[in-house]
Chains A and B, each alone.
Chain A
Amino acid sequence: MSAELSIAQIIDTIIPHPAGRSDLIPVLQKTQATLGYLPREAMMAIAEKLGLHSSEVYSVATFYNQLRLTPPGRQQIKVCLGTACQIKGGKIILDSWKRELNLEEGKTSADREYSLERVACVGCCAMAPVTVVNNRIEAKVSPTRVKGILLDFELQKQKHNGEKKHK
C-alpha cells in the first residue's frame, strides 16, 4: 500500500458503499489484509463509516483469533496445534520455534522480522505436525527442520542485503 494514502482514505477504498453492521467482519478482514493489522485509527474510521460505536468495533476485533491489533512480522510463523499435530509432538515444535526465535507465542520480534503464533488447526492433519510459514504449509516439521527454515531465511536476507549493497 502506498505511503501517501491516509488510513481513512484506505478505509474509504475498502468500503465504498457502507451497508451496516453485517459488513463489519469482512471489512475488518480486508483492512487487515491491506495493513497487516488493525491500528486504532483504522478501527475508528471503520466505526464512523458503518455508523457503529468504536467500542463495538473493538469488541468484535478482539473477539476473533484472526484479527490482530499489533503488526505481524515480515515472516509469519503459525504453528498448528490441532489434535493430530499435538499427538505428533506439535508442542515440541512450538517450543523449538520459541527457542530458536527467542520469542513468546503471539509476539513479534523487536525488528519486526518474525512473528510467532499458534493456530488451532489448519486442517492438514494427515501431514502432522505442520507449521504455516508465510501461508505455505510445511509438512512433518521436526526441530531440525525449524532450524533449517530459519537458516534459509537468514541466508536469503544476507543475499538480499548483499545485492542491495552491490547496487
Chain B
Amino acid sequence: MAKRNTNKSAQVAFERLYKKSVSARSETSPNERIHITIGTATCGRAAGAPDTLQAFRDEIARRNIDVTLTEVGCRGYCYAEPMVVISKPGYPPICYGYVTPGVAERLVNDFIISGDPCLEFAIGALEENELIPAIFDQPRFKYEKRNLLRNCGEIDPDDIDQYISAGGYSALAKALDMSPQRIIDEIGKSGLRGLGGAGFPAADKWQLCRDTPSDMRYIICNADEGDPGAFMDRTILESDPHSVIEGMALAGYVIGSSKGYVYVREEYPLAVKRIENAIRHARAKKLLGGDILGSGFEFDIEVFQGAGAFVCGEATALIASLEGKRGWPRPRPPRNAVQGLWDKPTLINNVKTLAYVPLVIERGAAWLAGIGTDDSKGTAVFALAGKVRNTGLTEVPMGTTLRHIVYDIGGGIPNGRKFKAVQIGGPSGGCLPEKLLNLPVDFDSLSHAGGMMGSGGMVILDEDNCMVETARYFLEFTHNESCGKCTFCRLGTVQMLDILDDITRGKGKTDDLKLIEELAKDIKEGSLCGLGQSAPNPILTTLSYFKEEYEAHIVEKRCPAKVCPELTATYIVPEKCERSCDACVGTCPTEAIFTGKSGIKVIDQEKCVKCNTCIAACPPQYKAIIKISPLSELPQAERRPATKGSNDR
C-alpha cells in the first residue's frame, strides 16, 4: 500500500534508472552505427517477416558488416508489411515496405554496402530532409496523431531500456510523488473516457473504486479484444507493452491496489509472450513488485489468458472467468468498482485507456483536453480492414470524419470498386452508408447514427459485399457467442438467424422484415449485458440504410452484390471467352469447367461451388467470367458431353 511522499524521491530514483537505460542504449547501439529495424508483430509475421529477418541476418553475416538488427512492433501500416527502417549515417532514416528476402539482400548490398538508398522500395524518410520525400508529407499524416501508438514500431518491445529512454515510466515516477486524489482530478480535468467502447468517464470509475472502503482492491486490464475486425489492443501489447504496465501501476497507486491482472485472449500468443516478458523486465528494474522506485508502493501484475469467449469482454463476465467460472455476466449494480473480483472493488479498464493515463500525467490534463471534440477528448485508434487499400491501424483525434479515415488515411477502395458501407464497432456496431461519411467519429455521434465506437474496428465494404449476408454473419457470430443466460439473447438470435438465413437463400417472405424489427426490439430489452443489447444493431442499421437489398432478396430472389450462393451463378460469356486459353479450367478446384464444342469454356452449374477462383484466373484482357443474379437470368448453356472420363468421376 502506498506511503505518501512529500518530496520528489520517486523522480530522483527514476532519474538514476533513466540515465542507466540511456547509457545501456548508447552502448548496444551507438549512433554512428547502421541500424536496421524490422516489424515482427503478428501482421508482419503473417506477411513473411521471419524470412526477411533471416535474409538480413544471412546477408549481414556473409558480407561481414557491422550493423545492429532489431525486431520492433507494428507501425500500423500493416498493408506494407514486412516493414523495415534503415538508419545509415549520412542519410535520413528510411522506411521500406513489402520487404521480401530478395529486397532485403538488395538493401544490404545496394544501400548499406554501397550508397544507393533503393528508392523503388522506400515508403518515405522518417525525417524531413533534402534527399528523399518524407513519410509525413503523405496525406494520411495530416490527419493522424500518434499518442497511443507513439512507440509502436519505434522501439523493441522486449527491451525495457528502449521504453525508458523514450521517456517511459517517467509518468509513474511523477505520479508517485503526487497525491492519488490529485491524479484523479487531473484525469477528470483531461476528459479522458474509457476507450474500450462505452466511453465512461475514466476519473469517475477510478474515484468510485478508490472511495469504496476495502482491505483489497484489484486492477484488471481488459485485453480480451474479441470484436472481429479490431486488433489495436493486440498491437499495443505486442509493440509497446510497457505503456500498459505503467498505466496499470499508476492506476494501482491511485486506487490503492497491489495486484493487477492483464486478461488477454489466448488467440494472441505473441501479445501474451511480450507482456509476460515486459512484466519480468519491469520487476527486474523494480518498476513492479515491492517498493516501486523507493516509494514504498507495492504492485504486481499477473497475466491471465482468456479461453476464447467473446462475452468475457463484458466486465462482469470477465471477472467470472478470472474466478474460474463460466463467463456469465451478472446484473449491475453493484458496479465492479464497488464489488468486483472476489467481491472486492475492482477497476477494469481497456488496454488503451490504461496506456493513455501515463501520457495524461506526463503532459497534463490541458494537453489532452485540447485534442478532440467537446465531449470526446484525445485520440481514437481505429483498425482499418476489409475493402480498403491501406489496411492497418490509425490513430486520429476524436471528431475526424469517416471520409478522412476511409479515403485519406485508408487510401480508398481498391480495384476501382465503389464504396458501400463502413462497419464500425464489430458485432455490436452497425453499417453506415456513404451518405454518413461526413460524420465526425466520436463516442456520441456514432451512437446517434446507430453505430458504436466499440473497440474501434472499422471494416470497409464495397459494392461486392451483400448487406444481408453481412447482417447474417454478425448474427451468426452473436448467436454462437451468446452465453445462454438470457432467453431473448439465446433464443431470439436463433429466430432472427433463421429468418436471415431464409432471406439469403431466396426463401424470405415479405413480412419477415417486420418480424425482424420486433424481435430486435425484444432482444435489446430482454438482455442483461452488452452482447445481447447490441446484437440486433448490425441488422437494424442494414435494414434502415440498405432496405432495398433485403427487398431484392425477398421479392426478386436477387442478390444485388451477387454474393449469396443460392441466388447467384457464375457464367462464362461465350462471346468473350478466348477459347484457346485454359486458365479457368486449370484453377477450378472442383473441375466444374469443361471445354465445349467450339473451344468455349462452360461451367457445369451443378459442380460449381462459387469460389470465384476462375474469375480471378480469367486474364484481364478477356474478363469473360461474370456473376449473374437472379438465377432466372442465367442463359441456357451447353451441357457437358457425356464422355467416358466424365462418367467415371
Please determine whether B322 and A29 come into contact, CB atoms closer than 8 angstroms: no
> With contacts A87-B470, A99-B590 known, is A123 near B45, CB below 8 A?
no
By a beta-carbon cutoff of 8 Å, the part of chain A in contact with chain B is 20-26, 28-29, 59-60, 63-67, 81-89, 92, 95-96, 99-100, 119-128, 130, 135, 137-139, 142-144, 146-147
Please determine whether B327 and A64 come into contact, CB atoms closer than 8 angstroms: yes
Please determine whether A121 and B228 come into contact, CB atoms closer than 8 angstroms: yes
Chain B 588-615 residues near chain A, CB threshold 8 A: 589-590, 609-613
Residues of B close to A144: CB separation below 8 A: 587, 589, 613
Please determine whether B79 and A126 come into contact, CB atoms closer than 8 angstroms: yes
Which residue among B42, B45, B231, B307 has the maximum number of chain A CB atoms within 10 Å of its CB? B307
Interface residue from A20, A85, A126, A146 paired with B43 (Cβ < 8 Å) = A126
Please determine whether A82 and B229 come into contact, CB atoms closer than 8 angstroms: yes
Please determine whether A128 and B46 come into contact, CB atoms closer than 8 angstroms: no
Asked if B326 lies at the interface with its beta carbon under 8 angstroms from chain A, I say yes
> With contacts A29-B305, A66-B307, A138-B46 known, is A21 near B324, CB below 8 A?
yes
> What are the 8 closest A-B residue pairs judged by CB atoms, nearest first?
A82-B228, A126-B78, A65-B308, A64-B307, A84-B385, A121-B228, A125-B385, A24-B324
Residues of A close to B326: CB separation below 8 A: 59-60, 63
Please determine whether B611 and A92 come into contact, CB atoms closer than 8 angstroms: yes
Q: C-beta contact mask, B261-273 vs A, less than 8 Å → 1, else 0? A: 0000111110000
Asked if B404 lies at the interface with its beta carbon under 8 angstroms from chain A, I say no
Residues of A close to B392: CB separation below 8 A: 126
> With contacts A87-B387, A120-B226, A121-B228 known, is A26 near B305, CB below 8 A?
yes
Please determine whether B324 and A23 come into contact, CB atoms closer than 8 angstroms: yes
Residues of B close to A21: CB separation below 8 A: 323-325
Residues of B close to A26: CB separation below 8 A: 304-305
**From A50, which residue of chain B is reached at the shortest CB distance?**
B324
Please determine whether B47 and A139 come into contact, CB atoms closer than 8 angstroms: yes
- The size class of the interface chain B forms with chain A is 35 or more
Please determine whether B43 and A124 come into contact, CB atoms closer than 8 angstroms: yes
Asked if B225 lies at the interface with its beta carbon under 8 angstroms from chain A, I say yes
Chain B 349-386 residues near chain A, CB threshold 8 A: 383-386
Please determine whether B46 and A121 come into contact, CB atoms closer than 8 angstroms: no
**From A24, which residue of chain B is reached at the shortest CB distance?**
B324
Please determine whether B324 and A25 come into contact, CB atoms closer than 8 angstroms: yes
Please determine whether A83 and B457 come into contact, CB atoms closer than 8 angstroms: yes
User: What would 6 A/B residue contacts be, using CB atoms closer than 8 Å?
Assistant: A21-B325, A83-B386, A84-B229, A87-B385, A87-B459, A92-B611
Residues of B close to A146: CB separation below 8 A: 589
Given contacts A125-B457, A143-B611, 16 further A-B contacts (CB under 8 A): A24-B324, A29-B266, A64-B327, A83-B459, A87-B385, A95-B609, A95-B611, A99-B589, A122-B42, A123-B42, A124-B46, A125-B385, A126-B391, A127-B78, A128-B391, A139-B46
Please determine whether A96 and B46 come into contact, CB atoms closer than 8 angstroms: no
Residues of B close to A120: CB separation below 8 A: 226, 228, 267, 308, 310, 477, 480-481
Min C-beta distance of B260 to chain A, whole Å: 15
Residues of A close to B327: CB separation below 8 A: 63-64
Min C-beta distance of A24 to chain B, whole Å: 4
Asked if B473 lies at the interface with its beta carbon under 8 angstroms from chain A, I say yes
Chain B 288-316 residues near chain A, CB threshold 8 A: 304-310
Residues of A close to B52: CB separation below 8 A: none
**From A118, which residue of chain B is reached at the shortest CB distance?**
B480
Provide the bound-state CA to CA distance between A95 and B613, in Å: 13
Asked if B321 lies at the interface with its beta carbon under 8 angstroms from chain A, I say yes
Interface residue from A63, A83, A88 paired with B423 (Cβ < 8 Å) = A83
**From A120, which residue of chain B is reached at the shortest CB distance?**
B228
Residues of A close to B305: CB separation below 8 A: 25-26, 29
Provide the bound-state CA to CA distance between A119 and B470, in Å: 17
Residues of B close to A66: CB separation below 8 A: 266, 306-308
Please determine whether A84 and B322 come into contact, CB atoms closer than 8 angstroms: no
Provide the bound-state CA to CA distance between A41 and B156, in Å: 44
Residues of A close to B269: CB separation below 8 A: 135
Provide the bound-state CA to CA distance between A119 and B461, in Å: 21
Residues of B close to A20: CB separation below 8 A: 324
**From B613, which residue of chain A is reached at the shortest CB distance?**
A143
Provide the bound-state CA to CA distance between A128 and B99, in Å: 19
Please determine whether B612 and A121 come into contact, CB atoms closer than 8 angstroms: no
Min C-beta distance of A26 to chain B, whole Å: 7
Please determine whether B228 and A137 come into contact, CB atoms closer than 8 angstroms: no
Asked if B426 lies at the interface with its beta carbon under 8 angstroms from chain A, I say yes
Please determine whether A121 and B589 come into contact, CB atoms closer than 8 angstroms: no
**From B614, which residue of chain A is reached at the shortest CB distance?**
A143
Residues of B close to A126: CB separation below 8 A: 43, 78-79, 81, 231, 383-385, 391-392
Please determine whether A100 and B385 come into contact, CB atoms closer than 8 angstroms: no
Residues of B close to A60: CB separation below 8 A: 324-326
